[in-house]
Amino acid sequence: MKKEDLRYLQRLGELYPTIGKASTEIINLQSILNLPKGTEHFMSDLHGEYEAFSHVLRNGSGAVRKKIDDVFGHTLSNSDKRSLATLIYYPREKTELVKKTEEDMENWYKITLYRLIEVCKTTASKYTRSKVRKALPADYAYVIEELITEKAEVLDKEAYYDAIVNTIIEIGRAENFIIALAELIQRLVVDHLHILGDIYDRGPGPHFIMDRLMEYHSLDIQWGNHDVVWMGAAAGQLACIATVIRNSIRYDNLDILEDGYGINMLPLAAFAMEAYQSDPCKVFEQKGAVYYNVMEEELGRKMHKAIAVIQFKLEGALLLKHKEFLLEDRCLLHRINPEKGTVTLPDGREYPLLDKSFPTIDWKNPYELTEGEKDVMERLSSAFRNCKKLQNHMRLLLDKGGLYKTYNGNLLFHGSIPLNEDGSFKEVQIYGETYKGKALYDALEAYVRRAFYAVDHEEQEKGRDILWYIWAGPNSPLFGKDKMTTFERYFIADKETHKEKKNSYYRLLENEEVVNSMLLEFGLDPEEGHIINGHVPVHQSEGESPVKCGGKVLVIDGGFSKAYRKVTGIAGYTLIYNSYGLTLSAHQPFTSAEAAVSEETDIVSNRVAVRYTLKRRLVGDTDNGKALKERIGELRLLLDAYRKGIIKEKK
């Protein structure tokens, strides 16, 4: 036996010091391998829509309702099943509503508790007792375990369970117990959650989504372009800070910054009112904004313009600093002719500007901030970097997230893999080095982490700047377009200049040879694996399908964001991958939790089987199963070493 192998087994022996303990662990792990695979839940492009996200999380994209159907079949009416599902989603709210109309609450409690216990039994059956025990609420752990575990030694089981349920009702704990069971079912129905990017921007509640994810039992996050720009802002990258604020103002979401993260917008407001005092800033109307008065509306426009101009200055300075980004054609301020009120784009065409007032721009140094702008950005940078809640949320993205993930044979990412027109991987230069395919993802992610963890100031600065590049660079996997036309959308009327050409990836998604090469690049089997991503909303209303390349590619951004629903026709796709296969769910727009409780409406409108397996997949067929098999192999070697006297047992 090699010296390093012996040393490893000796370390393993410290965890399992006897033949008995090593043998018991082998038996335990082997039994886990034969359990059904846990359910994976995929969600993408949440864009701050907390209420819709919360509802989909509660219903497991229809997984809870399916469990109810499995348990009760035709023994319950559809109406009763719907009521039970609503109770599981919103136990407190539904119970309060029932109390207003139900005459015999004791009987309702008893019926409801028995139904929940049955659903709980079925939901827990695919896990080991140890795993279920860890999920149980502390206050009721013992009682729930008694109720959902078959007890062969009890002769009169009905009387035994009746006694427990009756006692729960008699001592006035029925409501609390119903809540505990409902939340346990929600917890057990999904084993692992995948968030495929864009938690931030557009909607009003990304900070609530992040709070919820911080408490979730098992998840991973693939960063979206909107998440990355917030990460850049939290790291103190000034162009990212300006972008985050501009997006928040544009979509009337300053409450996220002010109330959600406690970032004071007063310095920007004071500067905007002074710098743009006589400027109506008409081009800078906010989308969907509701104003209390004309003054508030005017302030919103002035702040919007102030931060937009600051953003264009900061981006221009950044791109002139990093000429290796090859994005100097996006520096547009020096192309403005202030006398004529026009701008000449890099293609040589000249366009009239919709807004010709630029009181803060020095035309000799157009990308230099004024003293007032510098002061605003210094204050905002300090606020972002020192906001504890924001930093905690960004740490979650770093700890649980990345640019991509391979999980149980599938490739997960937010945007696209940069490709050439012929489907080959596009070579991209990052700080003098050339990368493509998986190596590009790995290099970019390493730089992102340096923005937060590097000790060397220069490396940290490179990491911060690469966060902006990932947000807006044409060769960024998370942007995937030839340019970001923010300037043109504000200042040029001709919509031709607003167009952003997508990377070849989106055109080649139906090409099986190209899709297979992408799966192989990330070490996956093209016959079994899938690419699952979001980023570009699926236009269901125009007949577009989220299923591409015969089911090998699944694009699950159906438009959680209200801003996208006019073109998508729905309110998001989600995906479930359980032991039977992959199921895609389309969702109708979510109105409110109150309506969901009172009207018992759900938002899972259509469930389509993407791929079902003839043989039910077990834990042994998963990535975790492979790791468990390796552990079993190591423990068998340890047993052999004990029995041959190579290693001595520690009694």
| 3-class secondary structure per residue, 357-390 | CCCCCCCCCCCCCCHHHHHHHHHHHHHHHCCHHH
Q: Which two tokens stand for residue 413?
A: 């990412």
Per DSSP (E only), the strands in 140-248 are 192-195, 219-222
DSSP state of 415: S
Q: Give pLDDT, residue 156.
A: 66
C-alpha distances in Å from residue 90, one per residue of 124, 593, 601: 20, 8, 12
Q: Give pLDDT, residue 542.
A: 62
Q: Give pLDDT, residue 71.
A: 94
Tokens 């994810």, residue? 213
Q: Give pLDDT, residue 569.
A: 45
Which residues in the chain land under pLDDT 70?
Answer: 150-157, 289-292, 539-543, 558-571, 605
Q: Give pLDDT, residue 564.
A: 57
**From the DSSP assignment, how many helices (H) and strands (E) are in the chain?**
27, 17
User: At 430, is the secondary structure helix, strand, or coil?
Assistant: strand
When computed from its CA atoms, the radius of gyration of the chain, rounded to whole angstroms, is: 28
Q: Give pLDDT, residue 565.
A: 52
Q: Give pLDDT, residue 185.
A: 96
Neighbours of 257 (CB within 10 A): 23
Q: Give pLDDT, residue 227.
A: 97
Q: Give pLDDT, residue 89.
A: 95
Give me the DSSP letters along 488-544.
Answer: HHHH---GGGG--PBPHHHHSTT-HHHHHHHHHHTT--TTT--EEE-SS---GGGT-
CA–CA separation, 578 vs 581, rounded Å? 5
